Every structure is written in structure tokens, then in C-alpha cells.
Amino acid sequence: MTSSAKNAGAAPYSEPHLVPEPGEFADLGVSQSLLMDLALKEVYFARHPAAVDISRALALPFVLTERILDTARADGFIETVRSEGYFQQLFQYGLTERGQDKVNECLARSQYRGPVPVPLAQYCDVVRRQTIRNQTVVREDLQRSLGDLVLSQEVLDRVGPGINSGTCVFLYGASGNGKTSIATHLRDVLTGPVLVPHALEINGQIVKVFDPTVHEIKASKHVADQPMDVPYLTCAGSESRRDPRWEVCSRPVVIVGGELTLDKLEFQYDPLLRYHQAPLHMKAAGGLLVIDDFGRQRVSPRDLLNRWIVPMDRGVDYLPLPTGETIEVPFDLLLIFSTNLHPLDVVDEAFLRRIRHKVFVPNPTPDQFSALFFKQAAARGLAIRQEFIDHIADRYYSQGGREMRSCHPKDILSNVEDIRIYEGDSSPLTVETLVRAADAYFLFVEGTTST
């Protein structure tokens, strides 16, 4: 059986605060039994929390939390243990013996604790409204965001249209020339913010989406950080409270390398916590998913690409639940492959045709190599002279038979810093110190030159 969320249209989601605070239980999109479970867990774990603290933990307006607590008290699950005043917000609650038994049942089903999950249909609607495909960049945007990288205009002019495709970009070229740096800097090109839910409720299953290692909170924070009577600003200068079950974040950037396996592209069930983690591409929704070192994963490139053929073409993914059901979720992200292998050694030509934007990132030119040295030296407060760079270029590249890489100036100057700290040297940089740093960096094997 396949369940699909309704697509509410493709209107641009330029203002992220468009999910209003729920006014009734029906607006939450989840069962009242789940609400009761979450409230009782807060009473259990927080040990005599005040009603207002429970409201903040569940990310609910107090009027709804109050009704949940009234029901829990009427059912004999909780009791008032202390009051700091006459307002119910300040009443503190503890579990009764019956409530303890109920919590044990709740924890046996799921250890999830926190904001009330949002329904799948609402999640799909929001993701589509704040779609990455509505992002557009022009040459000036890219020059500004990638300005601290030393790249040719030709490379920039290939990357930019790839972003505007909203689908996929294939970066390839020798290791150390900035492919990963390009991918991570693209965060600054994307405009936002976007809404990210703490968790979803899908056919009785809880799926954790918000990940503090991925999602950077950008604007109005969780309701717990705000006075309970302070509204959240919305669009057009109006005021209303937004649904604090969603965090306002920068567009996410998820980077994975050789550790990527196919199971990370499915719901990941934790048998100890008894709830699911969202797959990587759901955490990256509305932003970037970077597959770094493509071709070196523990899963074959063919299997990985076959997994994404349908999502890339249709903009949706189909994910199985442990119940046997399959759900449809938006596949809304800019997928970036980065490899230092020859593209045809990684995937066949037929699949490469599906990736319309391919960007070759070449070795730096001598002028770019010098510019990188000056840039990295300035960042370290070092004064470097062109003749020093020319000496390095002649000794280690012209005579040494090496190819220049964009990472070499940074790495060599990092070695310079290590040497100067070791020797307590604060004098002006000399070519001798630069040579020592380069000697330490490059690997000399008899008959060959390499790094």
C-alpha cells in the first residue's frame, strides 16, 4: 500500500513563518493518545515540571497543554505536587502510581521525547513550498559567495547554471583542487531560511528529522526561548504565533564520503530508542547533499546511482516503513557528486547523460597558485614574496615533476606555522623556512615524486 501526501501547489515559499500555531487539537495532525504519551514522559523525565515547562518541551500553545494535563489528572495519571502561584502555568506535576504504569507502557513503544511530531502531509506541503528549485543565482551571487576561493571564471560559470537546475551537479578533477570547498561554499549562495520539523508522525511511527549537526537555527527560535505571550512575526508585517514544532534554519548542507551505505538512505530504526531517524536526503531537504569522494563508498557507484534514478527524475522518493507500507516524500535537494576518479571509471555514459551539469575543476595555473600562496599567507599574518613562491614552483614542480594542486599553498604554510611555533620564531618568513616546510610536506620516493 502506498500513501501519498497532497501537493498543495508550487507557490514560492519566500517567507518561512507560514505554518501558524495550532489552535485546536485537530490542527496538530496527530492523535490525542500520542499527545498524552509525550506529556507523561515529560512529567516522568523532568521530575515535577511546571505546566509551562511541559508546554515548552512539547512545543505546544499552553491552551492545548492545559487541556492535556487536565485530562491526565482526571484519568488519574498525574497529580499536582506544588504550586508557585495561582496560575496553572506554575503548577508542578508528578506521576501517580497509575501514571507510572502508563509511562512504562509509553516507553516500551517509543523513547521519543520532545516537540510533538508534525504530520507527513504538512511536511510534504512545506518542503514543496520552500523547494530548492525556486532558487536562482546569477554570476554576481556566485562571485560573492565563492570569492575567497581562487577559481577561474569558467569553473564558476559552469557551477552557477548547475545550481539553477535544482537537481544535480557532477564535480570532477584531481584531488586537492577545491571540489569539496566549492560544494560547501554553495551554502552561502542559497537563500532561505527554511522550516525543519523536529519530528514526523507517519502511520504511527515517529521519525526524527531535526539534527543539530546538520541544521543551523537561523531565525526565531523555539517557543521555549520566548515569553509565552510574545507573537512571532510572519509575512507582510502581520503578527501571529508560528508553530514552534518547526525550527527556522539555514538551508542544510549534508556531506557524506566513503562511509555512505544504502541503509542511510532509508528510515533508520533505533531498537533502543524505538523511533526512526530520517534518511540523509530528508535531512538535506531544501538544501545540498554532497557525495564526496564518489566512487569510494562501501556501496558500488552503480547501486548508489540506481537508488536515485527515480527520485532524481521525478522529484519524489518512496520509502518503506517497518509496517510494510511505502510512503512518498519529496526528493527536494541539490545533489552534488564530487570525485577525483575519471568519471567513466565510476559510472557508465548512460547515467552521466542523466546529469546535465558536469564541472571539471582543473589544477591551478601558476598565477592562481601564487594567488593562493598570498591569500593563505595573509590569513596567517605572514608576508611572503613572489620570489619565494617562484623558488617553490621551480624546485618542487618544474624540477620535481609534480602537478600544482590548490591545497598545496595552504598545507605548506600550515607546516611553516608548525616550524615557527616549535622554534619560537617570530621573524619575517624566509625562503629557507618555506623550503623546510615543503620538504616535510612532499613525500620523496626514489625514482618518483609524489605527495
Work out the pLDDT band at 233, boundaries 50, 70, 90.
very low
21 vs 3 pLDDT, higher one: 21
Query: Does residue 219 carry a pLDDT above 80?
Result: no
Distance of alpha carbon 91 from alpha carbon 238, whole angstroms: 33
Work out the pLDDT band at 303, boundaries 50, 70, 90.
confident
Q: What distances in angstroms separate CA 363 from CA 114, 150, 292, 402, one per listed residue?
A: 49, 11, 18, 11
Q: Using alpha carbons only, give the angle 65, 66, 72 rounded to the nearest 5 degrees.
A: 90
Of 300, 282, 214, which Cα lies nearest the Cα of 249? 214
Distance of alpha carbon 181 from alpha carbon 417, whole angstroms: 22
Mean pLDDT of 346-371: 91
Work out the pLDDT band at 301, boundaries 50, 70, 90.
confident
Q: Residue 229's pLDDT is what?
A: 35
Q: Residue 321's pLDDT is what?
A: 86
Reading the block at residue 97, the C-alpha cell is: 502510581
Query: Does residue 236 carry a pLDDT above 80?
Result: no
Instruction: Give strand pairing partners of 449.
Output: 444
Query: Does residue 218 carry a pLDDT above 90?
Result: no
Cis peptide before 320 (omega within 30 of 0): no
Work out the pLDDT band at 16, boundaries 50, 70, 90.
low
The per-residue pLDDT of the chain, averaged, comes to: 87
Which are the contacts of 249, defined by CB distance < 8 A and separation ≥ 6? 192, 193, 194, 195, 196, 215, 216, 217, 218
| String of DSSP letters for 112-142 | --SSPPEEHHHHHHHHHHT-GGG----HHHH
**How does strand 194-197 pair with strand 91-95?**
unpaired
Q: Residue 451's pLDDT is what?
A: 55
Identify residue 57 by its one-letter amino acid code: A
Work out the pLDDT band at 232, boundaries 50, 70, 90.
very low
Distance of alpha carbon 289 from alpha carbon 256, whole angstroms: 8
46-73 pLDDT per residue, tens: 989 999 999 999 999 999 999 999 999 9
The dihedral over CA atoms of 263, 269, 273, 278, expressed in degrees to the nearest 10, equals 80
Of 63, 114, 145, which Cα lies nearest the Cα of 247? 114
CB 405 within 8 A of CB 363: yes
> CB 283: neighbour CB atoms within 10 A?
21
Distance of alpha carbon 246 from alpha carbon 350, whole angstroms: 40
Q: 208 by DSSP, 3-state: which?
A: strand
CB 120 within 8 A of CB 327: yes
Reading the block at residue 285, the C-alpha cell is: 531537504
Distance of alpha carbon 48 from alpha carbon 125, whole angstroms: 38
Start-to-end C-alpha separation, the chain: 55
Q: What number of CA atoms fall less than 13 Å from residue 246's CA on the CB side?
A: 26
Query: Does residue 445 carry a pLDDT above 60?
Result: no
Of 412, 374, 389, which Cα lies nearest the Cα of 148? 374
**Which runs of consecutive H residues, i.e. helices, occur in 5-90?**
25-28, 32-46, 51-58, 62-74
Which are the contacts of 257, defined by CB distance < 8 A and separation ≥ 6? 291, 292, 293, 296, 297
Query: Does residue 446 carry a pLDDT above 90?
Result: no
9 vs 50 pLDDT, higher one: 50
70-104 pLDDT per residue, tens: 999 999 999 999 877 667 788 999 999 999 999 99
Three-state SS annotation for 288-300: EEEECCCCCCCCC
Mean pLDDT of 106-119: 96
Q: Structure pTM?
A: 0.83
Q: What distances in angstroms separate CA 359 from CA 178, 190, 267, 443, one per listed residue?
A: 12, 19, 32, 30
158 vs 301 pLDDT, higher one: 158
Percent of the chain with pLDDT over 70: 89
| String of DSSP letters for 69-103 | HHHHHHTTSEEEEEESSSSGGGEEEEE-HHHHHHH
Percent of the chain with pLDDT over 90: 67
Query: Does residue 6 carry a pLDDT above 90?
Result: no
Q: What distances in angstroms separate CA 245 from CA 41, 141, 263, 268, 335, one per listed residue?
A: 17, 32, 27, 22, 27
* Greatest extent of the chain over all pairs of C-alpha atoms, in Å: 85
Query: Does residue 224 carry a pLDDT above 70?
Result: no
Query: Does residue 8 carry a pLDDT above 80?
Result: no
Q: Which residue has the cell 527536494?
A: 332
Helix (H), strand (E) at residue 357: strand 357-360
**Which runs of consecutive H residues, i.e. helices, occur in 166-249?**
179-185
154-213 pLDDT per residue, tens: 999 999 999 999 889 999 999 999 998 998 888 888 887 899 999 999 999 999 999 999
